[in-house]
Chains A and B, each alone.
Chain A
Amino acid sequence: MQLLKNTSIKRRLTSIIMAISFISVVLTTLTISIIGVYSIRNNLLQELGVTASIVGDRNTAALLFNDDKQADNNLNVFSVNPVIVQACLYNEAGALFARYVSHKYQSTTQCPTDLIEREIIGEDRIMLMQPIVKMQDKIGSIYLESTQEQIVNYINRQILIATSVTFAALIVSYLLAINLQKAISRPILNLAETAHQVSIRKDYSIRAKLIGDVGKEFNNELVILTNSFNDMLTEIGARDQQLKQKNTELERAKDVAEGANRAKSQFLANISHELRTPLNAIIGFSSILMNQLFGPLGDQKYMEYSKDINESGTHLLDIINDILDLSKAEAGKLTLNYEEVHVGKAINKCITILSERAEKGKVTISHSVPKMLPPLVADRLRFIQILLNILSNAVKFTEEGGKVHIEVHTKAVGEEITHFVVTMQDTGIGMTHEDIDKAFQSFGQVDSGLNRKYEGTGLGLPLTKKLMELHQAEISIDSELGKGTLVTMTFPALPPAGVDYRPND
């Protein structure tokens, strides 16, 4: 069956039918031949027995009256029978009395000396020893030996007949098989063709034709199969239609949603830009007032108010910048400028920026960066922005006397460094599992009750996440309420293939 694995169903059916008929014909002729050989052998043996009886009987007088010449004469009848190889006649005393040998076998045979009654079918001879009895007295023995020429001839003839019958049977069964296999293969091939047409034309309205007398062969599995196949096509067609309709609806909904989102981003970008201009004036002029560039302000209160104005303006500017970045990122307009970044320097810069706030909150920032660290390829400003965001959060949510520790290590495959891992561990207030998810959503600042104390834009983490995604980096937060937070950031050492970057920091 292995042979037929990759052939068509037509070929398979034809081959199977032919194989079966071939085997049947061969087995039948073989059986008939074997039975034939045995029956011929038995017939030969029987014939030989009868011949021996007749010839033995014919020689009783010769034996009893000791007339060996007459016996010789009698045995000579075998000269007309080419099958008899030799005939031996023994007298009552067991002595050889007369003998006939076919001239063909003159030199190769001799009479046996053992007179035990027997019938032997040998490889090429049939041998028979039989007593001669006259009126209940055993008066001698006769031995006949004949060839099996008849059997050999029969076998040869049988082989010839078997070969021609097998050949004829194969031709007939081939012709029949070619016609009969259609009953099975045509509906299947028709189904296969229909399935093929459906799959290339994506047309579910095509139907497989019913072949044969449907009414009569109602129980025919192939008819059932074809009907089921057609039903299935109807079902698929209906579902396909539904799916298409749903898809169109979804497409439309998606377009609407995307349009809305774009409009929102555009609006935010525009409004942020418009807001920045007056804000710069507010910050600039409040800074002039705060620094008393044009003489003293007089009352101390003016100093405090102008400082408040300046701080609030700066904070507002931060928010607006974050909104701008986030909307840019969401609109897909944020691009990275890859260059080699010295990770240690970047971390130091972040610590410097936040040192004032840390001192104020009595939070200690420590770090351990390996000395011989190779540069990381990233957008330097965005990288610092990411670190700054996370670090400022850590400082912000760590109570007085707390600690923040930054650590850097690399992951490598063999000699080649594949990733930079930056971790920041704080001893802050921590968050719950749900809070972590919420923290990454825009304006999803945790625990709004704390807003006053831990004021922020609420955009830091979502923006950080966006920037990380742009770097194909990963961020994970591991935290427990009241027990601090561990943030792990994993950056790929190199930008995606095909992105150019500026060497050297």
Chain B
Amino acid sequence: MIKRLLLVALAACVVASIAATQRAYAGDNKEYLVKAAFIYNFVKFVEWPDGKAISKQSNIDICVLGDSPILGAGNVFKAASTPKLALALVQENNIKNIAAHCHVVFISKAEQGRLGDTIASLKGAPVLTVSDMDGFAENGGMIGFVTSDGKIKVVVNTRSVSSAGMRVDAQLLEIALKVIDK
């Protein structure tokens, strides 16, 4: 119980820090903390097919493909973990492994050049692809981070999501800056 309260408090701190970082980018670290928190929240608005349904999981891996500052935000997931559901941020560069055990894969900006291959390799795999590289969602990625008016926003490609057998909650689409369906 106390643990849970602590977690809530920590999560509160995270959101508070998000609010703080929204206006002014104090640095990459804070920006990626926000992005990590967003990824954690995506989990709540995305439905995986039966085999990966969150309700049947005891641990969820949030994988990072390539090198990214987000790897420093692992604590966000540790804090959000509960005895029933453990969240972990892990680096995973093997595409096959990603398809096997990751629920979410954050593709670093450095991977932009190989994006087409990566998307193709993950085709049909129920893995939520997220990235902050330019034109990610437009190019077959599922959720892309963009900056609008100094705020971090998301662009969602619903076709990519559904073709992987997943579903995105309508509320996520509501808050999305842009929803792509192609």
Check A67 against B175 for contact (C-beta < 8 Å).
yes
Check A58 against B8 for contact (C-beta < 8 Å).
no
Check B15 against A136 for contact (C-beta < 8 Å).
no
Check A92 against B15 for contact (C-beta < 8 Å).
yes
Chain A 127-147, CB within 8 Å of chain B: the 1/0 string?
000000011111100000000
Check B44 against A93 for contact (C-beta < 8 Å).
no
User: Which chain A positions have C-beta within 8 A of B171?
Assistant: 58, 60-62
Nearest opposing residue in chain A for B4, CB measure: A136
Chain A 142-169, CB within 8 Å of chain B: the 1/0 string?
0000000000000000000000000000
Given A60-B171, A93-B16, A135-B44, check contact A65 B11 (CB 8 Å).
no
CA distance A70 to B153 in the complex (A): 12
* A38-96 with Cβ < 8 A to chain B: 58, 60-62, 64-67, 70, 91-93, 95
CA distance A62 to B15 in the complex (A): 12
User: Which chain B positions have C-beta within 8 A of A135?
Assistant: 44
CA distance A454 to B169 in the complex (A): 150
CA distance A92 to B41 in the complex (A): 13
Answer yes or no: B133 CB below 8 A from chain A CBs.
no
Chain B 82-93, CB within 8 Å of chain A: the 1/0 string?
100000000000
Report the minimum CB–CB distance from A60 to chain B (whole Å). 6
Given A67-B175, A137-B11, check contact A61 B18 (CB 8 Å).
no
Given A61-B45, A61-B171, A61-B172, check contact A137 B8 (CB 8 Å).
yes
Chain B 128-161, CB within 8 Å of chain A: the 1/0 string?
0000000000000000000000010010000000
Answer yes or no: B38 CB below 8 A from chain A CBs.
yes
CA distance A139 to B7 in the complex (A): 12
Check A64 against B41 for contact (C-beta < 8 Å).
yes
Nearest opposing residue in chain A for B14, CB measure: A92
Given A93-B19, A134-B44, A136-B82, check contact A62 B11 (CB 8 Å).
no
Answer yes or no: B12 CB below 8 A from chain A CBs.
yes
CA distance A64 to B8 in the complex (A): 13
User: Which chain A positions have C-beta within 8 A of B80?
Assistant: 137
Nearest opposing residue in chain B for A73, CB measure: B174
Given A60-B171, A62-B175, A65-B38, check contact A91 B45 (CB 8 Å).
no
Given A91-B19, A136-B82, check contact A64 B12 (CB 8 Å).
no
Check A61 against B15 for contact (C-beta < 8 Å).
no
CA distance A93 to B19 in the complex (A): 10
Answer yes or no: B108 CB below 8 A from chain A CBs.
no
Check A61 against B174 for contact (C-beta < 8 Å).
yes
Chain B 8-25, CB within 8 Å of chain A: the 1/0 string?
100110011011001000
User: Which chain B positions have C-beta within 8 A of A95?
Assistant: 19
Nearest opposing residue in chain A for B84, CB measure: A136
User: Which chain A positions have C-beta within 8 A of B45?
Assistant: 61, 64
User: Which chain B positions have C-beta within 8 A of A134?
Assistant: 44
User: Which chain B positions have C-beta within 8 A of A62?
Assistant: 171, 174-175
Nearest opposing residue in chain A for B45, CB measure: A61
CA distance A93 to B22 in the complex (A): 15
* A205-222 with Cβ < 8 A to chain B: none
User: Which chain A positions have C-beta within 8 A of B175?
Assistant: 61-62, 65, 67, 70
User: Which chain A positions have C-beta within 8 A of B38?
Assistant: 65
Which of A61, A70, A91, A93 contacts B169, CB < 8 Å? A61
Given A61-B169, A66-B18, A67-B175, check contact A92 B44 (CB 8 Å).
no
* A90-116 with Cβ < 8 A to chain B: 91-93, 95
CA distance A432 to B118 in the complex (A): 157
Check B44 against A64 for contact (C-beta < 8 Å).
yes
Check B44 against A66 for contact (C-beta < 8 Å).
no
CA distance A134 to B45 in the complex (A): 10
Report the minimum CB–CB distance from B1 to chain A (whole Å). 13
* B160-180 with Cβ < 8 A to chain A: 169, 171-172, 174-175
Nearest opposing residue in chain B for A70, CB measure: B175
User: Which chain A positions have C-beta within 8 A of B11?
Assistant: 92, 137
Check A60 against B174 for contact (C-beta < 8 Å).
no
Report the minimum CB–CB distance from B85 to chain A (whole Å). 9
CA distance A135 to B4 in the complex (A): 13
Check B44 against A91 for contact (C-beta < 8 Å).
no
Nearest opposing residue in chain B for A138, CB measure: B8
User: Which chain B positions have C-beta within 8 A of A138?
Assistant: 8
Nearest opposing residue in chain A for B173, CB measure: A61
* Most chain A beta-carbon contacts within 10 A, residue among B11, B80, B172, B175: B175
Report the minimum CB–CB distance from B118 to chain A (whole Å). 25
Report the minimum CB–CB distance from B50 to chain A (whole Å). 18
Nearest opposing residue in chain A for B54, CB measure: A135
Chain B 67-80, CB within 8 Å of chain A: the 1/0 string?
00000000000001
Chain A 360-381, CB within 8 Å of chain B: the 1/0 string?
0000000000000000000000
User: Which chain B positions have C-beta within 8 A of A137?
Assistant: 8, 11, 80
Q: For the A-B complex with A64-B45, A65-B172 known, give 5 more contacts whose Cβ atoms are closer than 8 Å.
A: A62-B174, A65-B175, A92-B16, A93-B15, A138-B8
Hey, which bits of chain A sit against chain B, CB under 8 A?
58, 60-62, 64-67, 70, 91-93, 95, 134-139
Shortest beta-carbon contacts, A-B, top 8? A61-B171, A64-B41, A67-B175, A93-B16, A92-B15, A65-B175, A92-B12, A61-B175
29 A–B contacts from the bound complex (CB under 8 Å): A58-B171, A60-B44, A61-B45, A61-B171, A61-B174, A61-B175, A62-B174, A64-B44, A64-B45, A65-B41, A65-B154, A66-B15, A66-B18, A66-B22, A66-B151, A67-B175, A70-B175, A91-B15, A92-B8, A92-B11, A92-B12, A92-B16, A93-B16, A134-B44, A137-B8, A137-B11, A137-B80, A138-B8, A139-B15
